[in-house]
Structures are given as C-alpha cells and as structure tokens.
Structure 1
Amino acid sequence: MNFPFYIFGIHPHWLFESLAYFIGFRVYLYTRNKERIPMDKALWVIVGATLGAAVGSKFLYWLEDPNKTLENWDNLVYLIEGKTIVGGLLGGLIGVETAKKWIGWTRSTGDDFVLPLAVGMMIGRIGCFLTGLDDHTYGIATSWITGVDFGDGIKRHPTQLYELVFLGIVALLLFQMKKKNIGWEGLLYQLFMLSYLMFRFMIDFIKPTPHPYWILNNIQLASLLGIAYYIWLIHKKQTEKRREIHA
C-alpha cells in the first residue's frame, strides 16, 4: 500500500474527516433522546460544542511545542494547520456547558454524544492511517507484528488503528450499558471521556511527539486534567446517589 492512499483521487484525510463530521451528525440526529432536550435547544448545544472544539483543538496544538509556536506566532499557516482530538473534546465540553448556561438548560446532554463521537472519531482515524507520515499520528518504530511501514522503510506502531479498535470496544460496552439503563443521566459520556483520556495518556508514550512538560507532552498534560475532573465528577454523582437512597 502506498501512503497517502488516495480514494477515487481524493486525499484520505480530507475524505474521511468530512465523512466523520457528516456521519457523526447523522448518528446524533438518529440516536439522540428526543425527550431529553428539544431540537431547538439541542442545536444551540451543538453550536457550543462545535465552537468550543475548534478553539480547544487549536489551543492544545499550540502547546505541543511552545518554543516553535512562539517562533511562528505571526505565521498564520502554522497557527491554523494543526489540531488535536483531546483539545477538541475538552474544548467542546466547555462550549457545551457555556451554551447550556446561555439557554438555561440544566439536564445532562452528554449521553447523546457518545455514539456519534465514537463513530466520528473511528472514521477520522481511518483517514489518519491512510494519510501515513504526513498526518503525524503514527507511533514510534517497533518490531511488533502490528508494525506498519508508512513508506520510508521503518515499521511503526499504527496508533491510529489501536485507537480505532479501542473506541469500538468502548462504544460497544457503553451501548450495552445504555440498553440495560445502568447508571445515572450523563454517566455514559463521563465514562467515555474518562476511558478515552486514560487511553490517550498511555498511548502518547509511544508517539514521537515533543515531551516538553517533564516526561509528558501537551496531550498527556491535558488528559491528566480531564481524568482528574471526570474522576471527581463521577465520585460526586455516586455520593449524591447514595444520599438519595438513604434519604
């Protein structure tokens, strides 16, 4: 296989990223709980998530190599070209919460986003893999059987595929929880975010990105903050549920 692997003459990153947004949104419309939030308010939540994700993904990318970002502070191409999923997720969280306060909505809306996010991210990672070295999402060199030569004669961890498989497993488990109505409103999204951030914290140790924050990179630092937040949030919800039971 040659990388990038063009499909009908279309660059794989552009094709699969477009498919990720389109199919993810269609999955949201099809699977969302219509009784949880009316569509007019749901659209505002989507707007908040989109804007927050756009800002968060760029901001975290700029922290990947702070010195390089400072050197290119006036280089518009550099500033707008990169983005990160973790930054998008955490920025989207802030955007959603801001939008909910704006429209006066207090119920959790996260569970409706779990499946669309998982599907969209899985599709997007296919595009990252087929793009090869140009995408900069591959892992370090490896002698494992999973190693892939992206065109330069070096076998590397296909971390894009590791993530795709991980997301598929998490989505399946959470879907089973949803069918059995396990937990409280918002738990599925909290578990999705917690599990994904833990995965990203670990997998980035085998990515050849700068690690300027002691032994951590920008993704791992943001993941740790997100992990701490979701552990605190889940513990808080569990405590509230116990109090309700014994009240």
Structure 2
Amino acid sequence: MMNFPFYIFGVHPHLIFESLAYFIGFRVYLYTRNKERIPIDKALWVVVGATLGAAIGSKLLYWLEDPVKTLENWNNLIYLVEGKTIVGGLLGGLIGVETAKKCIGWTRSTGDDFVLPLSVGMMIGRIGCFLTGLDDHTYGVPTTWATGVDFGDGILRHPTQLYEIAFLGILIFFLLYLKRKQSGWEGLLFQLFMLGYLFFRLMIDFIKPTPHPYWILNNIQLASLLGIMYYIWLISKKQTEKRREIHA
C-alpha cells in the first residue's frame, strides 16, 4: 500500500512535480512553438503575460471556493497565499496573454502553441497532486468503483487526479490528430482545448467534496461554465466569419 504524501528522496511530491511541470512545459513550448508565427522576443513576452495572468487568476478563483471563509480570513496572509486552481490559472493566463499581445502590438493568434505545453505540464502537475493525497484536496468523493484509491484514511475515493491525466491524454491525442487535418484557422486547437477541458472540469467537480455555494455549482464549475459559453460563442463567431469569406 502506498503512503501519502509519497515523498521522493525526502522531498514533497507536490514541490517536485509542480517544478517539473513548469520546467518541462516551458521547454516543450520553446521546442514546439511555430517559429514562423511569432519571433522569440515577442513569444517570451507572451509567456510572461501568461505566467502573471495565471498566477493572479488561480488565486482569485481559489478565494471564491468558500466566499464566507475568505471574508473571515481577509487578514490571514497564510490563508490568502495558499491554494490555487488550474481553471483560474487557464482563464487568468488567457487574459494575461491577450494583455501582453496588446502591449507588444501582436495581433495574430498564439494559443495553438500553448496546447501541448499546457497539457504536458498539467499532466505532470496532477501526478504531484495524486501523490500528495488528502493534503492536496483534489481527490474525489468516496466510491465503490474499482478505480477507488485509499489515500491513507481507509476510505476508497475517486482518484480524480488520475481521471484528469487520462482525459488530457485523450484530448491532446485528438487535437494533434485534428491539427494534421485542419488548416487555415489559427487558434482553433486552443479554443477546442479550452472548451474540452472546461467541460471536463464542469462535470468532474460534481464528484469532488468541495463547497458548492453557487446553487449546485462550486467556484470551478461556475468559472468553467462561463468559459464554455465564451468559447462556444467564439467558435460560432469564427465559423460565421469563414462562411462569409467563402460566399463573399
């Protein structure tokens, strides 16, 4: 039986895999980005915008997980700096990227270059979440499924971290296949990535024991739902524009 947290050479798994996620994700971006689409100096500014936006977004959405608790701890620095969310990071990173592009005067889409790095980084990071166990608060509710994992308290729970890794693997396989088939639509892969991942988070958080203060939704699901509506609108808008171009 595995002990949680599963320390590696005495180092906490979250620290190891979160560091690897950032390092490997950035290296994948530099290696796979479309070098003809955006020069390296502007690409680095986009990365800076994404990083800052993700840091702010992940924190803001975390504070909305339990609004009452956040208000009660508004002057508790430890509470305010701990915790973050991937969905908040993605949406905040999107805002950060668009802000950076406006600052440097870049108008072309850059999202497709982030699909593989983000997927790889998130998958690596979720390994750290899984190995951390109960302390990470990313596990699911108790289950009788064969996939149930005992994180150390004798209760079998949904290993939602592993579900997410599997989903991202399937999603990136589909998107890379689509990339070879489609052309002429910059940004489509990133839009589909965000749409797919946000839908996954909307559904998977129903089996997470987190507060659901927004009717039947938690903070992640509410943000995911807003993001889904945005990307459905954006993709529909792009399709309409392409049809107009064809018939023009």
- TM-score > 0.5 by shorter chain: yes
Are the structure 2 counterparts of residues 126 and 183 from structure 1 closer, same or farther at C-alpha, using a change threshold of 3 Å? farther
Amino acid at match of 1:153: G
Per the alignment, residue 214 of structure 1 pairs with 215
Distance in 2 between residues matched to 1:196 and 1:181, nearest whole Å: 20
1:178 positional shift: 1.5
1:87 positional shift: 0.2
1:9 positional shift: 1.4
1:106 positional shift: 0.5
Per-residue CA deviations over 1:163-217 (Å, capped at 9, x if unaligned) read 0000000011111112233461100000000000000000000000000001100
Distance in 2 between residues matched to 1:200 and 1:165, nearest whole Å: 13
Number of equivalenced pairs: 247
Q: Which runs of 5+ in 2 are unaligned?
A: none
Per the alignment, residue 52 of structure 1 pairs with 53
State whether structure 2 residue 168 is matched by structure 1 residue 167. Answer: yes
Distance in 2 between residues matched to 1:48 and 1:208, nearest whole Å: 33
Distance in 2 between residues matched to 1:180 and 1:214, nearest whole Å: 41
Equivalences for residues 1-247 of structure 1 within 5 A: 1-182=2-183, 184-247=185-248
Amino acid at match of 2:7: Y
Give me the TM-score of the superposition, normalised by structure 2: 0.98
Amino acid at match of 1:2: N
Distance in 2 between residues matched to 1:212 and 1:13, nearest whole Å: 28
Give me the TM-score of the superposition, normalised by structure 1: 0.99
Amino acid at match of 2:90: L
Q: Percent identity?
A: 85
Amino acid at match of 1:159: T
Runs of 4+, deviation exceeding 3 Å: none
Distance in 2 between residues matched to 1:39 and 1:228, nearest whole Å: 32
Amino acid at match of 1:96: V
Distance in 1 between residues matched to 2:9 and 2:24, nearest whole Å: 19
Amino acid at match of 2:150: D
Q: Which runs of 5+ in 1 are unaligned?
A: none
Amino acid at match of 2:147: T
Distance in 2 between residues matched to 1:215 and 1:178, nearest whole Å: 36
Distance in 1 between residues matched to 2:19 and 2:223, nearest whole Å: 26
Amino acid at match of 1:112: D
Distance in 2 between residues matched to 1:73 and 1:82, nearest whole Å: 14
Distance in 2 between residues matched to 1:64 and 1:19, nearest whole Å: 27
Amino acid at match of 1:113: F
Distance in 2 between residues matched to 1:70 and 1:33, nearest whole Å: 44
Per-residue CA deviations over 1:46-69 (Å, capped at 9, x if unaligned) read 111000000000000000000000
User: SS at the partner of 1:221?
Assistant: helix
Distance in 1 between residues matched to 2:183 and 2:245, nearest whole Å: 17
